[in-house]
Amino acid sequence: QKEVEQNSGPLSVPEGAIASLNCTYSDRGSQSFFWYRQYSGKSPELIMSIYSNGDKEDGRFTAQLNKASQYVSLLIRDSQPSDSATYLCADNTGFQKLVFGTGTRLLVSP
Amino acid sequence: GAVVSQHPSWVICKSGTSVKIECRSLDFQATTMFWYRQFPKQSLMLMATSNEGSKATYEQGVEKDKFLINHASLTLSTLTVTSAHPEDSSFYICSARPPEATYNEQFFGPGTRLTVL
């Protein structure tokens, strides 16, 4: 059973700070991962994908993947109150399915 | 691009009735769509994979006779909750994968909130 673990939070950061969200996964063979943002009452929105070890940057977002440690992270620089949401890490299992973590709730205070 | 719509956005029904939810890919053709269910404060749980022109693949523990899935065209998949009961009340979300998605990036519809009285 493939699993994705996330701390449920909430993770509280002040506006302008860096928010660091983490995720571990159980399947050593997993190759790619996605980060989705979900606002309360809304559906998930894809914000980042990462396939290779190392960092991938897109605007204020940086995804990091460490396959040896089975660890994925998302850094949000210059956090804004509008970033307050639940962030879901998803393992692309290779069988068309995505396995989601339970999500980390991020709160950015003005 | 990669826009997915759902209809209705919310529905309230009486126990024992059936409810149909539509999922459409608006700007791409999707041979595969996915149906998820999300209970309050929980993560998304995949219910089934909908394949155009063939039977859906259901996840373990999901009753295929209760949750009927039809993927009759490359842009439309429907989920029918038959004989709905209060425990079926949930947030149902579909997703689709564009043909150009190299690594199975899935884009979600806005979701349908079902309340069964």
Q: What percent of chain A is predicted at pLDDT more than 70?
A: 99
Q: How far is B22 from chain A (nearest CA, A)?
A: 15
pLDDT value at residue A106: 98
The residues on A that touch B, with CB distances below 8 Å, are 31-32, 34, 36, 42-46, 49, 51, 88, 92, 96-98, 100-103
Contact B103 A32 (CB under 8 A): yes
Q: How far is A33 from chain B (nearest CA, A)?
A: 9
Q: How far is B89 from chain A (nearest CA, A)?
A: 14
Comparison of pLDDT for B84 and A93, the residue scoring more: B84
Q: Measure the CA angle with vertex A48, ends A47 and A51; round to 5°.
A: 160
pLDDT value at residue B1: 64
- Evaluated on CA atoms A104, A105, A106, B1, the torsion sign reads positive
B104, B105, B107: which to substitute to probe chain A, counting the most A Cβ within 10 Å? Answer: B104
Report the DSSP beta bridge partners of residue A22.
Answer: A73
Residue-wise pLDDT tens digits, B20-53? 999 999 999 988 899 999 998 888 999 999 988 8
Burial of B54 (0-12, 13-18, 19+ CB in 10 A): exposed
* Average pLDDT of span A79-101: 91
Do the Cβ atoms of B82 and B68 come closer than 8 Å?
Answer: yes
Report the chain A residue with the minimal C-alpha distance to residue B31. A96
Report the chain B residue with the minimal C-alpha distance to residue A49. B105
Given a cut of 70, whether residue A51 has pLDDT beyond it is yes
Report the chain B residue with the minimal C-alpha distance to residue A51. B103
C-alpha B101/C-alpha A33 separation (Å) is 13
Given a cut of 90, whether residue A1 has pLDDT beyond it is no
Per-residue buried b or exposed e for A52-88, using 16+ beta carbons within 10 Å of the residue's own CB: eeeeeeeeebbbbbebeebebbbbbeebeeebbbbbb
CB-nearest partner of B43 from A34, A45, A100: A100
Given a cut of 80, whether residue B85 has pLDDT beyond it is yes
Q: DSSP for A4-62, please give it.
A: EE-----EEEETTSPEEEEEEES-TT--EEEEEEE-TTS--EEEEEE-SSEEEEETTEE
pLDDT value at residue B104: 79
Given a cut of 70, whether residue B82 has pLDDT beyond it is yes
Mean pLDDT of chain B: 93
- How many CB atoms are closer than 10 A to CB B93? 26
